[in-house]
Amino acid sequence: MRPTALIACLASLCLILPLPCAHAQAPAGVSAPAAAPVPAPLPAVDPAFARCLAAIQPRAAARGIDAAAFARLTADLRPDPTVLPLLDAQPEFTTPIWDYLAGLVDGQRVADGQAMLAAHAGLLARLEGQYGVDPATVVAVWGVESDYGRITGSRPLRTSLATLACAGRRQEFFRGELLSLLLLLHSGDLADPGLTGSWAGAFGQTQFIPSTYARVAVDGDGDGRRDLVGSTADALASTARYLQLAGWKSGRPWGWEVKLPAGFDPALAGRSKRRPLADWVARGIVRADGSVIAPAQEPTALLLPAGAKGPAFLVSGNYDAIYAYNAAESYALAIATLADRLRGSPGLVAAWPTDDPGLPRAQRRELQTLLLARGHAIGTADGLVGSATRRAIVAEQQRLGRQPADGRAGLGILQALRAEAAPRPTAFVLPPDFARWQQSPSPTTARTLKTMHDVPGLSLGTFQGLDALLVETPHATAAVALFGGQLLSFVPAGGQEVMWLSPQRAALPTPIRGGTPVCWPYFGRQGQGNEVPAHGLVRTLPWQLTAARREADGTMVLDLEPPVLESLVLKLRMQLRVGKVLEQRLFTENTGSAPVVFTEALHNYFNVADATAVRIEGLDGLTYLDKNDGMAAHVQQGDWTLLDPRDPGRSDRMFGQAGGHYRLVDPGLGRRITLTVAGGRSAIVWNPGEAAAANMADVGPHWRRFVCLEAANAGPDVVELAPGAKHALVQVIAVTPL
């Protein structure tokens, strides 16, 4: 929330790019003008800067900050010249309103906002009674300003405001803001002198500048401090109070999306051209869905933010209260329309006048993921389109011959890169001898018996009704089914079972649900027809043991192979090492004369006490494709849990370009399962949840007892293997107590 004075001084910027102009960055999820990086503080005090601070000190004393406190609060300050160009900087790219709203009023922000409405229902009801502002509007401001407290600005506030107070335009204004900030720190409202925010001083969960903080902020949680940084209650209460002071009237709408009659004069539009609502109704304006608006004498204005061919809005005095928070039309419309979505509205009816609409954050992240895949150094796929992403888009637009090459993150460039980066086909067909091999689902061949002969700790037996190689070492026990070469069990010495195996399995050759199925040479159907089995060719075939040995420390090493299939030029070998940890390696060799593209996965079913209570570390910030959302791209927020508010109670996520080191933390069993992967660029996390499990005969009520965390190369992360080349996918499973 920034005052009109600051907005006025940046009016030229706002006219071209309708962003909240007291931000060093745009609101969360919106592209911001390129800015220079924040430099390290200068080692020596600049004499002119020191003289400026000395001149400010008497004014600080007059406001109750004595000389010692002033010195303490300013002694470490050094000017940051990179903030000065932002006073007058013209943005590199204009932002049409459809781009602006696409980034701020998207499905993710709506879902997160509705979760916040539920989580803070009691607080928001109290604030509505106290200030008269409805919960959806307060939460919409919070969502647009900082993505519900996630993105609050990264520039040191004292440094930015001190620099602007001593150089450039509007020094007097920024001296007042610096003094307000120092007074908040001196009084104890704010405790951290290293507080960060926007380049122009806006900070906290709802982005107040210091003078407005001092004037408007309230203690919403009753702890005696006004902390809009660390206290959500304080931030939301202060926002409600600001809107009340700006003229918000309880029980009134901000306005409506409307439909204009044929021949309507667009010159009547404009926020300052107010007429009684009844006058607009008399001119034939109705709601966008065609319903009639009840006439009244309340002054209202017509907005046509994209001209007569785009959406139209009638706005009331409550819209003006939102507009006062930050004087930009697109900003106010973002708050208003997000609030409507939080109340359950499906969104705008009219389309924006463009054939290249803007992208919501999920699609921005997808675009960035595609740019990363093409080798552009843009950081992470976070959905925030900055200068590095724009430069990469320009390069791709030029390569593709798209005009204009303006760096805009629109649907056109996304679709063009999608077409190039569609998952490459792994077009395997059913081998002619596949059915014959399936006829002997649990073999005990002479070669297997000969190989295991006289290897201490290795025997042939059964595990939960399945023929299996049984391994006993000083460090752990394990069981491996010869059907599918599937790990069934791994139990560290003195510990509990690591793998989950369904107690409701169907008879062989139905695939075994549980353990670690080997999915190869494809994981998902990428060019295969329905005649081939799901998740590969080898998980329902007889494997044989080809080598076995016991190492000096007792670790057991097993080599296994599936049958050689006709017409398949890829050959597979697997090695298992059972010791203090379990190490599994899949070796793939191309014996043909042409490159082959394939995918693969080690589909681990980890045994847990309660899937809803575990978390997986190591995925935060990674982009994933969500099968439950049509393979749309999203970014993981924090550790994975099955209760993620974006898709609660189920999970089917494929993390591409993943890091290869993950930790499944299970408080119920008091342990941490660490999965370390080499040669695999994908991580897959799956649990069907209660509803889907009810329709799965081999899962049913047991869905809570496992979480699948899989080492893979899957989806876009295909492996292309040259003739004669080999590839290894390696996973190591280790268990430690919490």
Q: What is the mean pLDDT of each run of 10 residues along the chain (738 residues)?
A: 37 29 44 44 72 94 94 93 75 67 89 93 97 98 94 93 92 95 92 90 94 95 93 97 97 95 95 95 94 93 94 96 91 95 91 90 86 83 88 94 92 88 77 83 65 88 94 97 96 97 92 97 86 92 94 96 93 97 98 94 98 94 87 85 92 89 96 95 96 96 98 92 95 96
- The predicted pLDDT at position 46 comes to 83
Task: Name the 3-class secondary structure at 655.
Answer: strand
Give the whole-angstrom CA distance, residue 663 versus residue 669: 14
Side-chain half-sphere CA neighbours of 732 within 13 A: 10
Task: Name the 3-class secondary structure at 108.
Answer: helix
What radius of gyration do the chain's Cα atoms show? 31
Catalytic status, residue 376? no
Q: How much of the chain is helix, strand and coil, in % rounded to 5?
A: 30, 20, 45
Catalytic status, residue 497? no
45: Cβ–Cβ under 8 A, 6 or more apart, which residues?
A: 78
Give the whole-angstrom CA distance, residue 251 versus residue 316: 12
CA 254 to chain centre: 30
Do residues 659 and 623 make contact, with C-beta atoms less than 8 angstroms apart?
no
Q: Give which of 470, 478, 463, 709 is closest to 581, Cα–Cα.
A: 478
Question: In the CATH scheme, what is the code of domain 4-97+151-245?
Answer: 1.10.8.350
Q: Is 436 exposed, middle or buried (0-12, 13-18, 19+ CB in 10 A)?
A: exposed
Do residues 22 and 6 make contact, with C-beta atoms less than 8 angstroms apart?
yes
277: Cβ–Cβ under 8 A, 6 or more apart, which residues?
A: 293, 295, 296, 297, 298, 299, 300, 314, 316
- The predicted pLDDT at position 446 comes to 67
Do residues 575 and 558 make contact, with C-beta atoms less than 8 angstroms apart?
yes
Side-chain half-sphere CA neighbours of 214 within 13 A: 16
Do residues 662 and 653 make contact, with C-beta atoms less than 8 angstroms apart?
no
Give the whole-angstrom CA distance, residue 43 versus residue 248: 48
In one letter, which amino acid is 178? L
CA 425 to chain centre: 27
- The predicted pLDDT at position 257 comes to 96
Q: Give which of 689, 690, 696 is closest to 504, Cα–Cα.
A: 696
Backbone angles phi, psi at 626, to 5 degrees: -105, 110
Please report the DSSP string for 549-596 in residue order.
EE-TTS-EEEEEEPPPPTT--EEEEEEEEESSSEEEEEEEEE-SSS-E
- The predicted pLDDT at position 422 comes to 65
Backbone angles phi, psi at 481, to 5 degrees: -75, 135
Two structure tokens written together for 441: 């689902």
Two structure tokens written together for 542: 């007889």
- How many C-beta atoms surround the C-beta of residue 132 within 10 A? 15
584-600 burial, b for 16+ CB within 10 Å, e for fewer? bbbbbebeeeeebbbbb
Query: Which one from 120, 329, 710, 727 is the annotated catalytic residue?
Result: 710
Query: Which one from 23, 120, 186, 603 is the annotated catalytic residue?
Result: 603
Do residues 613 and 668 make contact, with C-beta atoms less than 8 angstroms apart?
yes
Fold of 361-421: Muramoyl-pentapeptide Carboxypeptidase; domain 1 (1.10.101)
Give the start-to-end residue ranges of the domains of the chain. Answer: 4-97+151-245, 260-315, 361-421, 434-602, 611-715+733-737
Q: Give which of 683, 732, 673, 711 is closest to 500, Cα–Cα.
A: 673
Q: Give which of 489, 601, 482 is closest to 534, Cα–Cα.
A: 601
434-602 and 611-715+733-737 share one fold:
yes
Two structure tokens written together for 350: 């009219």
Q: What is the DSSP letter of 207?
A: T
Backbone angles phi, psi at 234, to 5 degrees: -65, -45
Beta strand 671-678 with 661-666: parallel, antiparallel or unpaired?
Answer: antiparallel
Give the whole-angstrom CA distance, residue 2 versus residue 317: 19
Question: In the CATH scheme, what is the code of domain 611-715+733-737?
Answer: 2.70.98.10
CATH architecture of 434-602: Distorted Sandwich (2.70)
Side-chain half-sphere CA neighbours of 387 within 13 A: 8
